[in-house]
Structure 1
Amino acid sequence: MQQSTRTRYALVGTGHRGTTMWGKDIVERWHGEVELVAVCDLNSLRAERSLRYMGASVTIYTDFDEMLRVERPALVIVCTKDSTHDDLIVKAMEAGANVISEKPMTTTAEKIKRILDAERRTGRRLDISFNYRFAPTSARIKELLSSGVIGDVTSVDFHWYLDNSHGADYFRRWHAFTENSGSLFVHKATHHFDLLNWYLDSDPEMVSAFADLKHYGRKGPFRGERCRTCPHKNECDYYFDISAVPLLESLYEDPSGEDGYVRDACVFREDIDIPDTMVTSIRYKNGVHVSYSLNTYMPIEGHHIAFNGHKGRIELRQYEKQPWTEPPADEIVVMRSFEPVERIWVPHSSGGHYGGDDRLRNMLLNKNKPNDELKQRAGSRAGAMSVLCGIAALQSSRSGKPVSISDVWGDDSALGLLERA
């Protein structure tokens, strides 16, 4: 009998992202490249529901060490709570597996060092799921910047908007506590800081930030324990009916009996400790200055970014969700100084994040890797630098003082693992 050449992979964390992006989609569309051999979750009922949705039949484990010992997967995909990533990544690499981790890579400098050291010791590879790099519009911007069309970049204006649905969702879930997520400076902005690092081909050096909880948490007009039992559901703009989303209800409602985690917790809980309104200034090692903001309760979803250079400006306003018809393409405006404006339209591609999800999975899962001229594939160093920028921003917002990346990293050079290749 001919032995399968498919990569044997295990999924740890069977929440929504694991079940869909790294579960059902792969089982149905990348089955010629990889083979799901096990899932692992502390909540066995959630894992059962996840497998049912995937249409897969493999062994469920609640003990990660046992899963590694019995199944010996060649690849482990980590989709658990952010603060747990480091333990799982390190154990998987020490067991001989390569790892794909959902962003952010982890939540603290100490955990970053653990991961980088394990990767060096074991010779295994860690990839971070930075799908925004793979979106067609992001790739086109990278090409334009690399071409030198606006000369050396001197500054960047970058503003991200989460709407009242997506933004509020972070305050319903475990993300609402710094201990779990590192705050949205780490959990969400890791995408944005990574895009900046990749676009500019440089590292952040100094960060100064302001951030507050202005809308959710203790700022709310009333509160309950969760939406399903809340006495204010008829008057709350943020009431979320989980029963209207069958997959979420299946993965979280009955399984909450095992671990107590509910998916529709009140966005106005008084113990929420992450900011919802964030403004940051970043100085890069190559001298570029960045103005960045993240807002989580907007009537629109998407972002605006502009690169200012000696020879002109590149500007994009990308719409993801808004109260008017979404354009079928993204418009990149290239403004060369003293020359006519050029408008470049990049059509939307199918799949999540305008096709970025599919391109990312093709890069990481296909045996014959696509060309990576733009260096879109992101490893542990990219994951580390984006998290360090987020940690510095959170520290600065709390201290009222600028924070350098070296301050966050500390005196320990960690064997030089942050040096650029």
Structure 2
Amino acid sequence: MRKRYAICGVSGRALGMFAKPILTLFSGSCELVGLLDPDPARFELFRERFPEQRGIATYGEAEFDRMVAETKPDVIIVAGRDDTHARYIIAALRHDLDVITEKPMVTTGKDSRSVLDAERVSKGKVTVTFNYRYAPIHTKIKEMVMEGKLGRITSIDLNWYLDTYHGSSYFKRWNRERELSGGLSIHKCTHHFDLVNWWIDQKPLEVFAYGALNYYGPEGEANPSRTDGRHCMTCDERDACDYYSRWNARSKHIRVPDDHLGSLEVGKAASFPYSGYRPDRCIFDSDIEIEDTYTATVKYDRGALLSYSVNFSLPYEGYRLAINGTKGRIETLEYHMPGRTPFPTPVQTIDYFPLFGSKETIHVVHREGGHGGGDPLLLEDLFMGESPRRPYRILSGAEDGAYSVATGEAVWRSAKENRPIEIAEVLGFKQAALAGRTGGGGNR
């Protein structure tokens, strides 16, 4: 029997990550039956990309109940703007439907609590698509921790770097509004916090952090002038903007640094495929209200301490990781997007240092596909069922999603309030009450 799916939020991610696989690779067991979005232009883009699927039913943002009644889906896929996630996750759970949601699960601890409460009384369950778990290098780290090669985990050092291409993209789009994204400590850093939570199988208790806006906004040192309301495609000062010039040629036609938008002509009003949305807002506008730099310390329930930093404007992209335990240490360095890195980059390996013994370098089989080869494996688990061959859970549930969001909220709240923030405070109940609250999750 084919499983029926409906998508809420017809984003570029929804089209490439979910609609296309359902309609092609997994079409034998999956069927796409409905699309919901506030913007009719997104339905037209879907029809252009999948012309043979023009008959799929479409619905406005307030027509969720009607969509469910008419299309009878088994699973709701939530892939729209982050602030819309909670609305459709909770609505689906009230209909006893399963949910697959993009990360972050929601944008606030309060909404995380609401999702957990809704799932607790529903027959449906929530799956959060933390695809970074699936990268082969990351599953190998998980296996090494589980095998006890490090002993009891004592501390983690994780430093994440986004280059000027990727980092600046968040400040051109809706992500720069905290109400819509929760800020980058939630929208982006949930990836990182979930990885650590999953690797060490511990739950975060308390966070202390600092944050700042160093590169973007009107005080950014690369700002050609303090002028609001500019757009990259029509800006008279784009040739004086280092961020624009680094990634765009001066020739007549360029590609906007945003996948799925295609080529747009410089000097003319940009013809974007969506209504009321432009991904080329100026990264130096004064209405930017989120941070681009964080450092944080996180305390875990079984004694581990995380030292974390993230920077959204650096010369290259990647991360440095070290995990320390009572029996040894592992280190790894990854360069993302080598094509955007202005120097040769080595293949990622893991260095293992036993507490008493010689160093061992571990080479991992690398896979093709997005997010370090993780996307294809995640899709198989989503649409074919989780592989029984793994000795650990990997699909993430609502509890995992809640912990990652709560950690991200604690980061920016700590930076704002200059005090430690307890995860239980963010989620609105005692820490002990969260464990075992939901049926989903891969950390148990």
**TM range, normalised to the smaller chain?**
over 0.9
Query: C-alpha distance in 2, partners of 1:374/1:106?
Result: 25
Query: C-alpha distance in 1, partners of 2:155/2:49?
Result: 46
Q: Secondary structure at the match of 2:104?
A: coil
CA contact (8 A) 1:49 1:250 kept: no
Change (3 A) 1:301 1:109: same
Answer yes or no: is 1:318 the counterpart of 2:334: yes
Change (3 A) 1:42 1:250: farther
Letter paired with 2:299: R
Q: What are the equivalent positions in structure 2 for 1:86-97 lying under 5 Å apart?
A: 86-97=86-97
Change (3 A) 1:346 1:369: closer
Letter paired with 1:136: P
Following TM superposition, by how much is the alpha carbon of 1:309 offset from its aligned partner in structure 2, in angstroms?
Answer: 1.4
- Structure 1 residue runs of 5 or longer lacking an equivalent are none
Q: Secondary structure at the match of 2:76?
A: strand
Q: Secondary structure at the match of 2:306?
A: strand
Letter paired with 1:228: M
Letter paired with 2:214: K
Stretch of structure 1 that moved more, 181-190 or 62-71? 62-71
Identity over aligned pairs, percent: 38
Following TM superposition, by how much is the alpha carbon of 1:95 offset from its aligned partner in structure 2, in angstroms?
Answer: 2.2
Q: Secondary structure at the match of 1:286?
A: coil
Q: What are the equivalent positions in structure 2 for 1:293-372 lying under 5 Å apart?
A: 293-321=309-337, 322-327=341-346, 329-367=347-385, 369-372=387-390
Which residue of the partner structure matches residue 138 of structure 2? 138
Which residue of the partner structure matches residue 61 of structure 1? 59
Answer yes or no: is 1:113 the counterpart of 2:113: yes
Following TM superposition, by how much is the alpha carbon of 1:373 offset from its aligned partner in structure 2, in angstroms?
Answer: 2.1
Cα RMSD of the aligned pairs, angstroms, is 2.2
Query: C-alpha distance in 1, partners of 2:379/2:3?
Result: 13
Q: What are the equivalent positions in structure 2 for 1:169-188 lying under 5 Å apart?
A: 169-188=169-188
Equivalent of residue 382 in structure 1, options 392, 396, 400: 400
CA contact (8 A) 1:48 1:60 kept: no
Following TM superposition, by how much is the alpha carbon of 1:249 offset from its aligned partner in structure 2, in angstroms?
Answer: 4.6
Query: C-alpha distance in 1, partners of 2:434/2:4?
Result: 29
Change (3 A) 1:250 1:415: farther
Q: Secondary structure at the match of 1:169?
A: helix
Following TM superposition, by how much is the alpha carbon of 1:30 offset from its aligned partner in structure 2, in angstroms?
Answer: 1.7
CA contact (8 A) 2:83 2:106 kept: yes
Answer yes or no: is 1:227 the counterpart of 2:232: yes
Q: Secondary structure at the match of 1:279?
A: strand
Q: What are the equivalent positions in structure 2 for 1:189-338 lying under 5 Å apart?
A: 189-220=189-220, 221=223, 222=225, 223=227, 224-239=229-244, 244=255, 247-249=260-262, 253-256=271-274, 258=275, 260-321=276-337, 322-327=341-346, 329-338=347-356
Query: C-alpha distance in 2, partners of 1:366/1:114?
Result: 29
CA contact (8 A) 2:261 2:272 kept: no
Query: C-alpha distance in 2, partners of 1:371/1:235?
Result: 54
Equivalent of residue 24 in structure 2, options 28, 41, 64: 28
Letter paired with 1:338: F
CA contact (8 A) 2:205 2:431 kept: no
How many residue pairs were aligned? 413
Following TM superposition, by how much is the alpha carbon of 1:206 offset from its aligned partner in structure 2, in angstroms?
Answer: 1.1
Query: C-alpha distance in 2, partners of 1:264/1:183?
Result: 18
Following TM superposition, by how much is the alpha carbon of 1:302 offset from its aligned partner in structure 2, in angstroms?
Answer: 1.1
CA contact (8 A) 2:386 2:395 kept: no
Following TM superposition, by how much is the alpha carbon of 1:68 offset from its aligned partner in structure 2, in angstroms?
Answer: 1.9
Q: Secondary structure at the match of 1:76?
A: strand
Letter paired with 1:248: L
Following TM superposition, by how much is the alpha carbon of 1:250 offset from its aligned partner in structure 2, in angstroms?
Answer: 8.9
Following TM superposition, by how much is the alpha carbon of 1:118 offset from its aligned partner in structure 2, in angstroms?
Answer: 1.3
Following TM superposition, by how much is the alpha carbon of 1:237 offset from its aligned partner in structure 2, in angstroms?
Answer: 2.2
Following TM superposition, by how much is the alpha carbon of 1:416 offset from its aligned partner in structure 2, in angstroms?
Answer: 3.7
Stretch of structure 1 that moved more, 77-86 or 45-54? 45-54
Letter paired with 2:17: M
- Structure 2 residue runs of 5 or longer lacking an equivalent are 265-269, 438-443
Which residue of the partner structure matches residue 37 of structure 1? 33
Which residue of the partner structure matches residue 441 of structure 2? none
Change (3 A) 1:347 1:215: same
Following TM superposition, by how much is the alpha carbon of 1:343 offset from its aligned partner in structure 2, in angstroms?
Answer: 0.4
Query: C-alpha distance in 2, partners of 1:415/1:60?
Result: 43
TM-score (norm 1): 0.93
Q: What are the equivalent positions in structure 2 for 1:123-134 lying under 5 Å apart?
A: 123-134=123-134
Query: C-alpha distance in 2, partners of 1:99/1:414?
Result: 25
Following TM superposition, by how much is the alpha carbon of 1:374 offset from its aligned partner in structure 2, in angstroms?
Answer: 2.1
Following TM superposition, by how much is the alpha carbon of 1:16 offset from its aligned partner in structure 2, in angstroms?
Answer: 1.4
After superposition, give the CA deviation of every residue in 1:118-138 in whole Å (9 maximum; x if it has no partner): 111112010001001111110
Stretch of structure 1 that moved more, 272-281 or 88-97? 88-97
Which residue of the partner structure matches residue 15 of structure 1? 11
Query: C-alpha distance in 1, partners of 2:117/2:431?
Result: 7
